[in-house]
């Protein structure tokens, strides 16, 4: 019988990475719920306003677009935390272990590079857009690019952590989702 082995204690860096993934995931979910609540609330307010005043609120549509962008890009960052991107697991399952590892490394590098480029684009565009205001709310147009920059920056950090763990050979937890096209 083999003696039971205790897992090696996690390094401070690994604990920090895990804390970041947990903490940022919670923050993303809270902000996503808040954005959704603001969208629904603003539309409910407009419905009530129309009922009593026979006209709409001009700012609701523009505000909803901004809230939807926050919701979309932050929830996409949350998806990256769970590694629930659209995947073709049927292809992956048919490859030998070494090929799967190389494919996984390549895909992580592509995802990391793409989101780093998108974050850079969002920051560069936000600088330019800061000179302009939104039509109705008269907020700086930067509000359209901040959710993209934040979401992509979070994905870059998340994917860097997943890549680091992958390169160290740390096994990923088994996903609960179906293993076909998820």
Mean pLDDT of the chain: 87
77 vs 29, 80, 159, CA distance in Å? 10, 5, 10
- Residue in 57, 35, 32 with CA at minimum distance from that of residue 44: 57
Instruction: Compute the distance between CA of residue 44 and CA of residue 50 in angstroms, rounded to an integer.
Output: 10
130 vs 44, 50, 122, 138, CA distance in Å? 30, 33, 12, 11
How high is the mean pLDDT in each 10-residue block of the chain (182 residues)? 56 93 95 96 96 93 95 91 68 83 88 95 95 95 95 95 90 53 37
Instruction: Compute the distance between CA of residue 16 and CA of residue 168 in angstroms, rounded to an integer.
Output: 16
List the beta bridge partners of residue 133.
140
Q: What is the pLDDT of residues 33-75, one digit of tens each?
A: 999 999 999 999 999 999 999 999 999 999 999 999 999 999 9
pTM value is 0.82
């Amino acid at each position: 019988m083999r003696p039971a082995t205790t897992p090696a204690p996690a390094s401070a860096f690994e604990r920090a990475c895990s804390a970041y993934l947990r903490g940022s995931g919670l923050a993303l979910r809270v902000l996503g719920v808040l954005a959704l609540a603001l969208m629904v609330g603003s539309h409910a307010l407009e419905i009530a306003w129309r009922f009593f005043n026979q006209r709409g609120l001009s700012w609701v549509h523009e505000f909803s677009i901004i809230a939807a962008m926050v919701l979309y890009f932050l929830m996409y960052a949350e998806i990256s935390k769970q590694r629930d991107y659209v995947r073709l697991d049927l292809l992956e399952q048919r490859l030998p272990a070494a090929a799967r590892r190389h494919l996984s490394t390549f895909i992580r590098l592509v995802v990391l590079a793409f989101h780093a480029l998108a974050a850079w684009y969002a920051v560069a565009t936000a600088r330019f857009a800061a000179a302009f205001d939104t039509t109705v709310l008269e907020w700086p147009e930067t509000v359209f690019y901040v959710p993209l920059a934040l979401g992509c920056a979070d994905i870059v950090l998340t994917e860097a952590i997943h890549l680091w763990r992958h390169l160290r050979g740390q096994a990923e937890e088994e996903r609960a989702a179906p293993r076909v096209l998820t």
